[in-house]
Structure 1
Amino acid sequence: MKNFSWRSYWSLFLSIFSMPFLFALMYGLIRIHPYFGFFLVSLSIIVSLIFGVIAVFKDTEKNSLAVLAIIIAFGSGAFFVFALLMSQMSGPTEL
């Protein structure tokens, strides 16, 4: 019988966790260094994708939760990269 395992649940949790953590970091609700915060966000997205892919290819697990987590992680990663690229778009402000 196929069930969800801890990999599927952790993949979903990490994919959902990354965006509220990013917004809390941007608005100053979490007081850590921005580089370390961006590292944590990118690490949670990467680990979520890894757990999701492992859960999809396991024969003893249901795939629906892992596929949902992979979709959310790709969306979060795309938003994260887009936000980082747009923050650098203004260029240097020095004269």
Structure 2
Amino acid sequence: MTLTELKYIVAVAREKHFGRAAEACYVSQPTLSVAVKKLEEELDVKLFERSASEVSVTSLGEEIVRQAQSVLEQAAAIKEIAKRGKDPLAGVLTLGV
């Protein structure tokens, strides 16, 4: 499981459409679909119900998507901590006197 795959399932859940989710992630629809299928196989669960006209999240999928969103937010927080560590003045308020 990768952060990219988690990003893709969050996008599919939000967009309720594989094509629009792929556009939002700047990848082709087949690339996104293969990654989602791979994650479903790895977890051995069905995350989405697919029909010709719509995509819906399964009940278990909803829980997994919520956790995926949390993981992505935590990963972003880690990047922010690292960025602050590189800039010793980041977060320091200076007053113009």
TM-score normalized with structure 2 length? 0.41
Which structure would you say has the larger Rg? 2
Looking at both structures, which has the greater relative contact order when contacts are Cα pairs under 8 Å and sequence separation is at least 6? 1
